[in-house]
């Protein structure tokens, strides 16, 4: 039987996973529709500067310049076989149809299969002063650097709970910024203990050690096991105060802070698609369930890259290609079994590395244990930690959606993407219950704010 | 293990009317159990627009709505919760001469119920709200109407009911309800309740429970499609509706503009309603025509929920036609929020006195005709 038309395959996100998925589908003779919020392809990791502000890839992406350049060329090399839609947000998804808004207004697409390669964002945890002007995330620091060539300030303090910390420190220093401190809120010893596991990807481990070594040579040693944080300042950041394991407070004068605490997957579209989610106890977040080949529990929905659990850029490339092969296989097309094997073995190595990395950078629970009541938790709606605790005590709240209904936490612009995980952690602490029992916010469209203006465009 | 409860009144459903009934019954000294299939106040009571409106109601509902209105003035104090109630007034806009004629007719009929409405011509309405679109040619203002935060009202009633000694069980769907002759046995998830009176306040599920007692109530799911903007400067000082009902919009004090547009859809579970993107876009377009100042705003969230819709657009309230101590209160057809507190009182009156002063005859379940087949009478149980 011949098909009346080629199936419509949508790919959401033009980062490493989405680009590789689209490339693979195009190579198989399909014409995938590739949606991306950014102006140019590359995702967050290989973000490109806007036209007119280009800089050499080696300067922007360091060791990864060749990979970045290759991915940036995917759409052009496909020569029309990828229907690429930049600056376009997919804001809703249900039962085989997606809604987008972009330069040409609102549009709807009926798809046969969809690959969600929605990526990740910084995991944000609140601490006193975290919303003062001059406080950024590590990801935001990278965006400012890659897109605009902007360092954050004259005296920058970096705070992290993952491998991004030494990398951003290195990148900012290379760009000429004065990084006055790099603080790691996770302990040092698990990194040593998990070195053997990280040997699953010796090249990646070597790069991490190299960044750390270069930072050290430049006089910047990462301070591990930071116990508590506080940003001080009247109208903007003036200093960061931190407490060490021995309970001593240290004060560093600075005019910019970039702080994040690992990454979190962007899962809203998988949620709207109806994918089954499970609680991941290591990263302490709810993730869509996905097979090694990228299949979700819904026949038409595939997941690739950091949106389906953090794996990093290199794994994202493999996962994108692997999910595309699963799509082709499920459509009854012939796929290269040897290539599948190569990808599966590569992904298995990445999985071993990832387990070791996650153990090396455990979730920094301690930062949330003694937060003062007046610390802002939900910045969109201006709700403090104390309001959450009060709602739990007064109204017997035990679950995230009820918490949202009564306190407005997670009800604002970000829809809980920024505050949701911290709110779940604090809710679990306040009810003395397991974090998984706090549940997760029910997703509703739009996944990001959508404008009235585009209606008549 | 199944828990056994013995109470005077068992209420199925945990919305505003149900929990308000529990409060009133406890105040009358009766023992009460509330069985809610999910969370109290999270169904139609919690996801609606938040209008506290008398204007525009079906004339049969106006006496109840009039009686409900003063309750809202004291509700925050009674519940001990900021429910964000504010008598901002409700203004209903006319976009054609026919609309205006309809508003004039309604104002006259409402006056007979003691509801004073002020008719405004084009100049007056544009003077009061200079940001209205040009197609608005007049309006009717109900100054005593207002708005409240629906997400807070239901849960607060449930908490008060519990504080007064009612048994309130959440995540407790009712499986069977059978008449025992002098009362009922209600079997729910994990609990069996024996009661003298049974109150059916099960919203969209109310029809099935009625059917289990041989009664016809053709209730269908109604899924409002709601939207909200990011916070904007506070401008829309009144709750707004239009003739035809296709635009309704209000702005909360913190600045978010809440509005509705069309209907959502029931997902595969048939339990959860979800907003529909095409309906949302249609609602945005229609609302923009009325409130042009929204052009630069963004929608941050949409939502839906399930209410019970009756074919004649008014609820079922009152005694069962087939079962002596069964009381119905469901099918509020998308406008039960304002009525909730008074419906609770009416239910309590029916239980304690066997009657109520409020004229509830128009809401009798008899209007749909009784089912007479002996099969359905014998088979008195329900799955929902």
Q: To the nearest whole angstrom, how far is the Cα of A76 from the nearest Cα of chain B?
A: 32
- Whole-number pLDDT of residue B370: 60
* Same structural domain, B228 and B285: yes
Pick from A395, A444, A452: CB nearest B155: A395
Is A143 inside a domain boundary? yes
- Average pLDDT over every residue of A231-251: 96
Last residue of a domain, one of B304, B339, B365: B304
C-beta atoms surrounding B134 within 10 Å: 10
Q: Does B159 touch chain A (CB under 8 A)?
A: yes
Q: To the nearest whole angstrom, how far is the Cα of A437 from the nearest Cα of chain B?
A: 15
Q: To the nearest whole angstrom, how far is the Cα of B83 from the nearest Cα of chain A?
A: 10
Whether residue A79 has pLDDT greater than 80: yes
Domain count within chain A: 3
* Same structural domain, A76 and A183: no
Is B37 inside a domain boundary? yes
Q: Does B38 touch chain A (CB under 8 A)?
A: no
Q: Which residue of A has its CA nearest to B268?
A: A274
Pick from B265, B298, B302: CB nearest A444: B302
Range of the domain at B262: 224-304
* Same structural domain, A21 and A48: yes
Angstrom distance (rounded) from CA A99 to CA B263: 17
Residues of A in contact with B300 (CB under 8 A): 412-413, 415, 446, 449
Whether residue B383 has pLDDT greater than 50: no
Q: Which of A81-90, A217-226, B307-316 has the lowest mean pLDDT?
A: A217-226
* Same structural domain, B15 and B156: yes
* Same structural domain, B243 and B279: yes
Range of the domain at A298: 9-121+264-335
Residues of A in contact with B254 (CB under 8 A): 381
Last residue of a domain, one of B143, B159, B179: B143
Q: Which residue of B has its CA nearest to A405?
A: B151
* Same structural domain, B213 and B319: yes
Helices (H), chain B: 16-27, 44-47, 62-79, 97-111, 122-128, 150-163, 206-212, 277-290, 340-353, 374-378
Q: Write phi, then psi, for B274 (nearest 5 degrees).
A: -125, 150
Is B369 inside a domain boundary? yes
- Whole-number pLDDT of residue A147: 84
Pick from B46, B159, B276: CB nearest A405: B46
| CATH number reported for the structural domain that contains residue A410 in this entry | 1.10.10.1100
Pick from B151, B230, B275: CB nearest A405: B151
pLDDT band at A31 (very low <50, low <70, confident <90, very high): very high
Pairing relation of β-strands B32-35 and B51-52?
A: unpaired
* Same structural domain, B177 and B300: no
Is B73 inside a domain boundary? no
Contact flag A92-B155 (C-beta cutoff 8 Å)? no
Last residue of a domain, one of A207, A241, A261: A261
Residues of A in contact with B278 (CB under 8 A): 99, 108
- Average pLDDT over every residue of A362-366: 94
* Same structural domain, A249 and A152: yes
Q: Which residues contact B199 (CB under 8 A, 6 or more apart)?
A: B9, B10, B11, B12, B13, B18, B21, B326, B327, B328, B329, B347, B351
- Whole-number pLDDT of residue B374: 39
Q: Write phi, then psi, for A292 (nearest 5 degrees).
A: -60, -25
pLDDT band at B271 (very low <50, low <70, confident <90, very high): confident
Is A453 inside a domain boundary? no
- Whole-number pLDDT of residue A3: 53
- Whole-number pLDDT of residue A246: 94
pLDDT in tens, B51-81: 999 999 999 999 999 999 999 999 999 999 9
* Same structural domain, B316 and B201: yes
Is B27 inside a domain boundary? yes
pLDDT in tens, B79-90: 999 999 999 999
- Whole-number pLDDT of residue A303: 98
Is A55 inside a domain boundary? yes
Residues of B in contact with A405 (CB under 8 A): 42, 46, 151-152, 155
Q: Does A439 touch chain B (CB under 8 A)?
A: no
* Same structural domain, A425 and A378: yes
Is A353 inside a domain boundary? no
- Whole-number pLDDT of residue A150: 84
Is A128 inside a domain boundary? yes
Is A428 inside a domain boundary? yes
* Same structural domain, B36 and B162: yes
Contact flag B151-A413 (C-beta cutoff 8 Å)? no
* Same structural domain, A196 and A220: yes
pLDDT in tens, A93-127: 998 999 999 999 999 999 999 999 999 999 999 99
- Whole-number pLDDT of residue A227: 95
* Same structural domain, B132 and B254: no
Contact flag A94-B297 (C-beta cutoff 8 Å)? no
Is A228 inside a domain boundary? yes
DSSP-assigned letter for residue A128: T
pLDDT in tens, A375-406: 999 999 999 999 999 999 887 789 999 999 99
**Residue burial B9-28, b: 16+ Cβ < 10 Å; e: rest:** bbbbbbbbbbbbbbbbbbee
* Same structural domain, B351 and B249: no
Q: Which residues contact A391 (CB under 8 A, 6 or more apart)?
A: A397, A403, A406, A407
- Whole-number pLDDT of residue A55: 86
* Same structural domain, B156 and B290: no
- Whole-number pLDDT of residue B200: 98
Last residue of a domain, one of B269, B284, B304: B304
- Whole-number pLDDT of residue B379: 37
* Same structural domain, A256 and A268: no
Query: CA angle at residue A306 from A305 to A308, to 5 degrees?
Result: 80
Which residue(s) pair with A158 in the sheet? A182, A258
pLDDT in tens, B147-165: 999 999 999 999 999 999 9
- Average pLDDT over every residue of A184-203: 93
Is A454 inside a domain boundary? no
- Average pLDDT over every residue of A227-256: 96
- Whole-number pLDDT of residue B373: 43
CB pairs under 8 A between A and B: 77
Query: Which residue out of A397, A416, A450, A454 would a mutagenesis test of the B interface target, given it has the greatest number of B Cβ atoms within 10 Å?
Result: A450
Q: Output the average pLDDT for chain B.
A: 93
Q: Output the average pLDDT for chain A.
A: 94
- Whole-number pLDDT of residue B380: 37
Whether residue B375 has pLDDT greater than 50: no
- Average pLDDT over every residue of B195-210: 96
Q: What strand order describes the sheet that includes B298-303?
A: A450-451, B298-303, B224-229, B257-263, B248-251, B239-242, B90-94, B138-142, B118-121
> For residues A209 and B382, which has the higher predicted lDDT (pLDDT)?
A209
| CATH number reported for the structural domain that contains residue B24 in this entry | 3.50.50.60
* Same structural domain, A151 and A236: yes
* Same structural domain, A53 and A102: yes
* Same structural domain, B353 and B296: no
* Same structural domain, A169 and A238: yes
Pick from B275, B276, B296: CB nearest A453: B296
Contact flag A452-B299 (C-beta cutoff 8 Å)? yes
Burial classification of residue B48, based on how many CB atoms lie within 10 Å of its CB (0-12 exposed, 13-18 middle, 19 or more buried): buried
pLDDT in tens, A294-319: 999 999 999 999 999 999 999 999 99
Domain count within chain B: 3
Nearest-10 crossing angle of helices A385-395, A400-407: 110
Is B54 inside a domain boundary? no
Is B61 inside a domain boundary? no
pLDDT in tens, A133-165: 999 999 999 999 888 888 888 999 999 998 999
Contact flag A451-B297 (C-beta cutoff 8 Å)? yes
Angstrom distance (rounded) from CA B239 to CA B149: 13
* Same structural domain, A14 and A102: yes
| CATH number reported for the structural domain that contains residue B299 in this entry | 3.30.9.10
* Same structural domain, B121 and B242: no
DSSP A4-42: SSPPPEEEE--SHHHHHHHHHHHHTT---EEE-SSSSSS
* Same structural domain, A133 and A239: yes
| CATH number reported for the structural domain that contains residue A130 in this entry | 3.50.50.60
Angstrom distance (rounded) from CA A46 to CA B234: 41
* Same structural domain, A136 and A243: yes
Residue B83: C-alpha distances to residues A79, B148, B253 (Å): 58, 6, 12
């Amino acid at each position: 039987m011949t098909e009346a038309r080629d199936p419509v395959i949508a790919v959401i996100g033009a980062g490493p996973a989405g680009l590789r998925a689209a490339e693979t589908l195009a190579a198989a003779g399909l014409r995938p529709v590739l949606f991306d919020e950014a102006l140019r392809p590359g995702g967050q990791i290989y973000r490109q500067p806007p036209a007119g502000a280009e800089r050499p890839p080696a300067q922007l992406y360091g060791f990864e310049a060749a990979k970045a350049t290759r991915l940036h060329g995917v759409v052009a090399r496909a020569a029309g076989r990828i229907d690429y839609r930049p600056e376009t947000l997919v804001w809703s998804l249900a039962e085989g149809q997606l809604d987008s808004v972009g330069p040409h207004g609102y549009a709807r697409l009926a798809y046969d299969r969809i690959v969600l390669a929605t990526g990740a964002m910084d995991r944000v945890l609140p601490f006193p002063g975290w919303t003062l002007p001059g406080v950024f995330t590590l990801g935001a620091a990278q965006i400012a650097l890659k897109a605009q060539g902007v360092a954050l300030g004259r005296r920058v303090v970096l705070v992290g709970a993952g491998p991004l910390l030494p990398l951003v420190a290195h990148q900012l220093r290379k760009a000429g910024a004065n990084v006055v401190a790099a603080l790691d809120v996770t302990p040092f010893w698990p990194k040593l203990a998990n070195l053997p596991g990280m040997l699953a990807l010796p090249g990646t481990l070597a790069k991490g050690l190299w960044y750390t070594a270069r930072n050290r040579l430049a006089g910047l040693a990462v301070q591990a096991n930071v116990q508590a944080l506080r940003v001080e300042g009247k109208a903007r950041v003036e200093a960061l105060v931190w407490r060490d394991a021995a309970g001593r407070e240290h004060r560093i004068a600075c005019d910019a802070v970039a702080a994040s605490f690992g990454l979190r997957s962007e899962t809203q579209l998988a949620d709207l698609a109806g994918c089954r989610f499970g609680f991941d106890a290591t990263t302490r977040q709810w993730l869509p369930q996905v097979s090694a080949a990228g299949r979700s529990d819904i026949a038409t929905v595939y997941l690739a890259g950091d949106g389906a659990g953090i794996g990093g850029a290199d794994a994202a490339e493999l996962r994108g290609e692997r999910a595309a092969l699963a799509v082709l296989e499920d459509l009854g097309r012939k796929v290269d079994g040897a290539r599948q094997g190569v990808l599966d073995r590569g992904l298995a190595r990445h999985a071993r590395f990832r387990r070791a990395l996650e153990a090396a950078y455990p979730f920094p629970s301690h930062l949330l244990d003694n937060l003062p009541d007046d610390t802002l938790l939900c910045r969109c709606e201006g709700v403090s930690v104390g309001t959450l605790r009060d709602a739990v005590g007064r109204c017997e709240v035990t679950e995230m959606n009820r918490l949202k209904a009564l306190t407005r936490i997670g009800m604002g612009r970000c829809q809980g993407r920024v505050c949701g995980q911290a709110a779940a952690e604090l809710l679990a602490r306040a009810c003395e219950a397991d974090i998984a029992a706090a549940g997760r916010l029910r997703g509703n469209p739009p996944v990001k704010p959508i404008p009235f203006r585009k209606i008549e465009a | 293990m199944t828990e056994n409860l013995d109470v005077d009144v068992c209420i199925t459903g945990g919305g505003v009317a149900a929990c308000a009934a529990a409060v009133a019954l406890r105040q009358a000294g009766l023992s009460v159990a509330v069985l809610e299939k999910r969370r109290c106040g999270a169904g139609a009571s919690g996801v609606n627009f938040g209008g506290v409106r008398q204007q525009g109601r079906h004339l049969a509902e106006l006496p109840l709505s009039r009686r409900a209105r003063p309750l809202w003035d004291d509700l925050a104090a009674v519940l001990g919760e900021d429910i964000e109630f504010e008598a901002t007034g409700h203004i209903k806009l006319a976009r054609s001469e026919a609309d205006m004629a309809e508003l004039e007719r309604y104002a006259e009929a409402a006056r007979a119920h003691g509801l004073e409405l002020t008719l405004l011509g084009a100049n007056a309405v544009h003077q009061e709200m200079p940001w209205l679109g040009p197609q608005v040619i007049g309006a009717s203002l109900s100054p005593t109407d207002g708005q409240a935060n629906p997400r807070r009202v239901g849960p607060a009633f449930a908490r008060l009911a519990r504080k007064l000694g009612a048994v309130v069980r959440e995540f407790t769907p009712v499986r069977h309800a059978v008449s025992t002759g002098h009362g009922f046995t209600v079997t729910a998830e994990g609990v069996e309740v024996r009661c003298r009176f049974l109150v059916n306040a099960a919203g969209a599920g109310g029809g099935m429970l009625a059917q289990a007692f041989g009664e016809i109530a053709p209730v269908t799911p109604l899924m409002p499609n709601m939207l909200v903007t990011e916070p904007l400067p506070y401008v829309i000082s009144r709750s707004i509706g239009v003739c035809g009902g296709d635009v309704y919009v209000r702005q909360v004090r913190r600045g978010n503009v809440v509005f509705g547009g069309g209907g959502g859809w029931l997902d595969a579970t048939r339990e959860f309603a979800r907003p529909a993107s095409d309906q949302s876009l249609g609602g945005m377009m229609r609302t923009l025509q009325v409130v042009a100042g929204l052009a630069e705003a963004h929608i941050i969230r949409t939502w839906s929920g399930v209410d019970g819709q009756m074919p004649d657009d008014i609820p079922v309230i009152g005694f069962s036609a087939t079962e002596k101590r069964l009381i119905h209160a469901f099918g509020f057809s998308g406008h039960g929020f304002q009525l909730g507190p008074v419906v609770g009182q009416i239910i309590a009156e029916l239980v304690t006195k066997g009657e109520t002063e409020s004229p509830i005859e128009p809401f009798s379940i008899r209007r749909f005709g009784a089912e007479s087949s002996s099969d359905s009478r014998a088979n008195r149980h329900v799955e929902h």
